[in-house]
Structure 1
Amino acid sequence: MPSHFTFGVKRIDAALRGNAAEQGLPRAALHELHAADKGDKASTAAMALLLAQRCRALDSDNKPILWISESGEARRQGRLYPPGLAEMGLDPSHIIHVDAPDSIAVLRAAADGVRCAAMGAVIAELSGKKPKGLDLTATRRLSLSAQQSGVVTWLLRNGSDKEDPLPTSAFSRWEICAAPSIPLEANAPGQSAFDITLLRHRSGLYGLNARLEWNCDHHEFREQDIAKTPPNFGAVSPLPAVRTNHQGARAA
């Protein structure tokens, strides 16, 4: 089993080597993704799922992705949208979605999930500046469990404090925001695009940033040529959310 997974972009993966022998990020670890702004929640969720997909694709046994979110936040902001997942090349049937009553329950469910080696990845979604129960102790528990099981774990943060983020034991911390895509032929909608910035890395790396496009056919990222990017009149989130009364809301 490969010990690391990559973005598939040579510049980024080589830079992330740090003190390790392998390029990319370690699988048996906890990583954080922070939405740059409220409107970037969907893009951050998409990035978590796409990286989880790249990680699980390294195995041949088709392990599922466990997604855990607070039920109250899901009612307010919407849930994963199966047609949107399919458009990005993700199979909704490979995602197990768990509704938890609060942030403490999210962390407990994540702790249980990450200890199960049958999972391809675990994503725990938490909202607000200081979610109850999120501290060094809770994240150390997730980190240690990830090291033992080999299950990559993502802590997905929405509405966190950029100036004073909560201390965690995550191996890496990233900021994600939606970016304008380059139109395809006949002005057709382009590939989903993201601006990513590395905020923290266990090896001391920081400030790494890039604009990436997702190729849904080949399940890989490529670095976008910013010179070809059209003016940004408001980037569109690549992963639509759906309200809970939608007939497919709970299918993912």
Structure 2
Amino acid sequence: MRSLPISFRWQPTIGETGSTHLKKPGDIGQETLALEFCLSTLHFAMFCAMSVVVVEKYNILNLLKSIVRHRITHLIIVPPVAVDFCKQPVVGNYDLSSVRYVLIGGGRILPGVEARVIKADGSLASCGESGELVVRGPSAALGYLNDTKATKGTFVNGWIHTGDQVIISETNEIFVIDRIKELLKVKGFQVSPAELEGCLLSHPDILDCCVVGVPDDYSGDLPLAYVTLTSDAHQRSAISLEAENAIRRSIMKHIADRMVSYKQLKGGVD
């Protein structure tokens, strides 16, 4: 894990943004992230004079109950938690009408942050065109501590090159569609892990997933999928090894039926 120095302007800017644009009297935030991210969550709440509820360990049922019990207005979450909200049927049993803001990667640009989308040739992308997201602002980090090479590759002329391939809409909404730095090279073809992950998430037994490349002397990379099963699928897989393998074969067939040959999960499913 790398260390990132920040300026003294960082935290007041985060707090000012929240208290000016996101805060109303009586607001309550819900902490769902690990506490090592406290600078951007707990401190954000304190600068806004906002109460914050901390859970010991993330669990979708506990989170839903907490939202209802405390009338949570602000959720700070990561994409896998958003997937839970979209795919877990139990979510529909809870009243989430108190939630006004969900802070997550993507969405709308926060006040005080400048953003550009840069195409591969260095030119600015138009609305709806994909490219790399670069950002700058007083809340940005200053570089990587004691790592000049990494700093020069990411922090260029005051702009942070995020490595995220995005589209910005005409209403200034950012849609993250891929990771530029994470494309796999399979037999000379570029394969997007995000594309495979999107396809995998449409499988009824998969709650969440991550696709990585396994080094291979012949192909370069072989796509390998790590999956989190739904509770029902997890129970079925625990019955026997054959039941577990049947789910694995079903997942691989799901990709095989929808993707070209070089995008198959030749690295396996785990």
State if a TM-score over 0.5 links the two structures: no
Which structure carries more helix by proportion? 2
Using the size of structure 1 for normalisation, the TM-score is: 0.31
Q: Using CA pairs below 8 Å that are at least 6 residues apart, which structure has the higher relative contact order?
A: 1
Report the structure number with the largest CA radius of gyration. 2
